[in-house]
Each structure stands twice: as C-alpha cells, then as structure tokens.
Amino acid sequence: MLALTGGLYAQPMRPPMSIKPPENGGALYVVPNNGITLFDQTGSTTTTDGWPSSFDLTSDTGSSLSTAGADDFVLPAGKHRITNVYVAGLSFGYFGYAYPESFDVIFYSKIKYRAKKTANVYLSCPAQPYTYIGGYGDMLVDVSSCAAGTRFKGRKDYYMSVQGRGAYHDDYQAFYWATRTSQTGKPGLWETYYPDTGAGRKAGLEAQEMCSTWEPNTTCFPSGAVGPDYVFELYGK
C-alpha cells in the first residue's frame, strides 16, 4: 500500500503531550535533552485522510520495499543542533502487529524536484532509536547522538526525510506519515521504488515509475486524498 486513505485514518492526529497545551486539552510534554522547539508543523491545521507510506522494509532474501516522504523546514536565526524529531503517523503496531525496528532520518541541504533534479545530503542518521508516544503511530525519534557535531543554520531552508525500518513479513513493520491540508514553505515530497522481484513480488507489486524520484505529494497522489505537507516537529538547542 502506497498510502492509507479514509475511515479510521481520517481522524485528526495529535500527540498525547506537547511542549504547549494541546488544542483539545491534555498534559504538557517535556522536551527531551533540555531542548526547545525549533520548528513546529503540527498545530492550527487538520490532517488529511491520506497517509503516504515512508518505510524501508527488507525481506529475508535481501529485496527491499522502499518509499520515503520529505518536507522542508527553516530554523530560527543562529546555529542550532537538532536532538529529536516528532512525526505524526500510523504504524500497524497500533493494531497488534510489529512496530518499526528503528527510523532512518536524513537531512538535506537541498532537494530540487523540477529541472536538474538533485538531493544533497547534509546529515544522514540511519537506524535511530525512537519512542512511541501515542495515537496510531506518533513517534519521537532521538537523533541527539548522530547530530551531536552538526549545526544547522537558521533562516536556511533544509529538507528532512523520515523512514521506518523493518523486515517485510506478516507483521508489516511499516510507517505511514500523516499529512495536512495546508502548506508551509515548500511542498512535502515523496518517492518510491518497488522492485518486481523478491519482497516486491511477494507484496503483489510491480516495478513502479510513479515518483521514482522526489516529487510533490500532490503530483504523486493526484486524487487529493494526500495533503501537500507532513506533520512533524523538531526539537533541539
């Protein structure tokens, strides 16, 4: 499944805790690692009923099912270190299957998705630990060790991708990233490649050319079920 739509998944997502009182009430969330909120793309909006997949699953034979979402962010003036990434989403673990083993987080200094497509990696943080904090799959990914020596410039536009990692089997260690109806800054992007061998054949999927490189969500999912931006928040110092 490339995206989940409708029904149960259309319900609004909100972490059970936040660094400010949630819109519908609830407890305060204490930001990890003595950090502050550097970027917030969670409030004052309604999530859509489309949830693009964002995972890297590997079969026993080594074949891969890979999709990824990415979105841009701009930090406040100065230089900052990112310690934690909150992403709202859905995991089949909520329904009694397996949660992802870990998360891959990649920060890009630039992604061009029109002419002369490029994706310049600024920092790659594979297999990062995370904490499930509520909802259908709201996750807090700890990148504090990976990003300890990296500073991000304020007022500069970066992109970030997040992928749940796991094995493709009956437990479906997949992660679907929640999108929202409004757009902040540049559009959220998505890409996928399902090979027609191994795990791809097991999943009943054929090799796909649709969005085989980064493209806006609205291009990859023209039905309108998937929103133009993703729901996430960045903490740090």
Residues with Cβ within 8 Å of residue 170, at least 6 apart in sequence: 97
- The pLDDT, as a whole number, for residue 62 is 59
Give the torsion through C-alpha atoms of 147, 149, 153, 158, to 10 deg: -30
User: Can you give the residue range of the structural domain that contains 117?
Assistant: 3-236
Query: pLDDT tens digits for the chain (237 residues)?
Result: 556 554 433 333 333 333 333 333 333 344 555 578 999 998 756 676 667 888 777 766 556 678 899 999 999 999 999 999 999 999 988 888 889 999 999 999 999 998 788 999 999 999 999 999 888 889 999 999 999 999 999 999 999 999 998 876 645 678 899 999 899 999 999 998 655 444 444 444 444 446 888 999 989 888 888 899 999 999 999
Nearest residue to 70 (alpha-carbon basis) of 161, 6, 4, 141: 161
- The pLDDT, as a whole number, for residue 20 is 37
Residues with Cβ within 8 Å of residue 114, at least 6 apart in sequence: none
- The pLDDT, as a whole number, for residue 8 is 39
206/192 Cα distance (integer angstroms): 12
Task: Write the secondary structure of the chain as one string of H (helix), E (strand) and C (coil).
Answer: CCEEECHHHHCCCCCCEECCCCCCCCEECCCHHHCEEEEEECCCCCECCEEEECEEEECCCCCEEEEEEEEEEECCCCEECEEEEEECEEEHHHHCCCCCCEEEEEEEEEEECCCCCEEEEEEEEEEECEEEEECCCEEEEECCCCCCCCCEECCCEEEEEEEEEEECCCCCCCEEECEECCCCCCCCEEEEECCCCCHHHHCCCCCCCCCCCCEEHHHHCCCCCCCCEECEEEEEC
- Residue 30 class from Cβ within 10 Å (0-12 exposed, 13-18 middle, 19+ buried)? exposed
C-alpha pair distances (Å), 208 with each of 65, 67, 211, 212, 226: 11, 11, 8, 7, 19
- The pLDDT, as a whole number, for residue 198 is 47
- The pLDDT, as a whole number, for residue 114 is 84
- The pLDDT, as a whole number, for residue 229 is 93
What is the total count of domains within the chain?
A: 1
Tokens 């034979």 belong to which residue?
61
- The pLDDT, as a whole number, for residue 9 is 38
Residues with Cβ within 8 Å of residue 222, at least 6 apart in sequence: none
- The pLDDT, as a whole number, for residue 174 is 82
Q: Answer yes or no: are the C-beta atoms of 77 and 136 closer than 8 Å.
A: no
Q: Answer yes or no: are the C-beta atoms of 21 and 129 closer than 8 Å.
A: no
- The pLDDT, as a whole number, for residue 97 is 83
